[in-house]
Amino acid sequence: MYAASTFAFVNRLISSGTHSDMPLDEVKRTKLTNICVLSCMPVTTFFLIVNLLKQYYTLGFINLAILAGGATILYINYQRRYYLARLLLLIVSNIIFTVSSILYHNGGEHFLLLTIILAVILYNNKWFIYIFSGITAIAYIWVYIEKSRSPIITNVGGTRAIINLAMMLLLFIISLNYFKQQHLHHQQVIEKKNKALYDQKIQLLAQKDALEENNQMLGELNRTKEKLFSIIAHDMRSPLGSLRGSLDLLQQRMISAAEFEQIAAILIQQVDDLQASQENLLQWSRSQLTGISVKEQLVSLRKLAEEKTAFLQPQAVKKDILIRIDITDQALVKADMDHCSLILRNLLTNAIKFSPVGGLIIVSSQAHKNFVCLSISDQGIGISQAQLDLLNSGSVNVSTRGTSNEKGTGLGLLLCKEFLEKNGGRLEITANHPKGSVVSFLLPIAS
């Protein structure tokens, strides 16, 4: 416990004057200044006691001046006047070591070499380093010259010179090692920051890709919205306009009831097309706003096909189209009943729409591994590769008029595809030789 508290106290002294906002290089230099001062204090205190005991009062005064100077430097660092502290360390050290080595031949001139090294480490200004190093080198040479000329005031012995030399070498090693460790630490910090920046860059690139993908999706949704508005504004408004115009003419007695009956069949066909388009549009809008939710239940494809055929029989009769159902009673699937109803209604409506007058539509089923495959084949105009590509990309398709000029929104097959995928199935479209197409959908078989 005592050792830990002592170490913490010394570490606080070494870090005296540093703060969190300080540049790392300045932290290193400030700590190195404090280390040089603190490492000299124990030895200087020891020599102060020895000199006083031996009555070397002048040397004792020099030792006391070194201790006072060291305390002053620590205080100046604490006040965050770093450049003044470093300058005092170098100048005071040079004066004291030069004077003491000339007067006492105690080997203090070796510390002059250490101050040159400290100047290189503590300062970035090359002109200051050159000038200070030159002055210190002259002082070092002058000491050697004067040592041979001036008499020794007090003979402190050769041991003192050896101790000072050893002390200088120790401080030299400590300074270089500390600077090396701080440099390695600085390099590790830089590498860690570089890694953090690299990780941030990867994150930003991923976010950029996600934003670009979202922008593409939003662009596609905007194009779909514009197309739907165009459909509503043109194709869906036309039947209502025709019906309203005919009713106005009838009300104003501009046409007779017999004449109205002649155009009634056309108006009924237009309203039927409008109703189917409106149902698809509402289903698609609901799926885009709230998503497609699936309520699985047992669905008999034969029973459902018979219901939808009966519902669409008036349209088939108008074009003299025969719908033949060839589905077994065992064709049972696990899916959402409303989705299956919409899918089958759309596919049968398309088959009637694109079949010629007097055509044949066959609705059949067969088992396919874990699925039931229901196929609707017709002898109509088929589907182009461009339309298939749009369907596979999830885009709203361009509506194609039927063989009797029937209209649509282009949403039917897209809705079928989305609903089938949500129910674990898929949509397949192939050519029906010699003409027409076969539209099939697969749904999971009911166990």
pLDDT per residue over 29-79, tens digit each?
Answer: 888 888 888 877 888 888 888 888 888 788 788 888 888 888 898 888 888
pLDDT at 395 over 60: no
pLDDT of residue 154: 57
pLDDT of residue 100: 78
* Domain annotation covers residue 259: no
* Number of domains into which the chain is organized: 2
Average pLDDT of every residue of the chain? 78
Which of 167, 200, 233 represents a domain boundary (last residue)?
200
* Domain annotation covers residue 66: yes
* Domain annotation covers residue 278: no
The DSSP symbol for 234 reads: T
pTM (predicted TM-score): 0.45
pLDDT at 18 over 60: yes
pLDDT of residue 288: 56
Other C-beta atoms lying within 10 Å of the C-beta of residue 445: 17
pLDDT of residue 153: 56
Residues 146 and 35 in one domain: yes
Residues 186 and 300 in one domain: no
pLDDT of residue 406: 62
pLDDT in tens, 306-319: 888 888 888 888 88
Residues 318 and 188 in one domain: no
* Domain annotation covers residue 232: no
Residues 174 and 46 in one domain: yes
pLDDT of residue 278: 66
Radius of gyration of the chain measured on its C-alpha atoms: 49
pLDDT at 411 over 70: no
pLDDT at 218 over 70: yes
**What domain range includes position 310?**
295-444
Which of 150, 177, 200 represents a domain boundary (last residue)?
200
pLDDT at 338 over 70: yes
CATH of the domain at 304: 3.30.565.10
Determine the Cα–Cα distance for residues 422 and 417; give it in Å rounded to an integer: 9
Using DSSP's 3-state secondary structure scheme, residue 112 falls into helix
pLDDT of residue 386: 67
* Domain annotation covers residue 69: yes
* Domain annotation covers residue 133: yes
Tell me if 189 sits within 8 A of 24, measured CB to CB: yes
**What percent of the chain lies above the pLDDT cut of 90?**
0
pLDDT of residue 441: 87
Tell me if 33 sits within 8 A of 85, measured CB to CB: yes
Question: Which is more confident, 84 or 6?
Answer: 84
Residues 34 and 140 in one domain: yes
pLDDT of residue 269: 63
Which of 154, 171, 200 represents a domain boundary (last residue)?
200
Residues 11 and 154 in one domain: yes
* Domain annotation covers residue 27: yes
Residues 170 and 311 in one domain: no
Question: Which is more confident, 54 or 153?
Answer: 54
CA distances from 87 to 1, 210, 424, 433 (A): 37, 57, 81, 99
* Domain annotation covers residue 398: yes
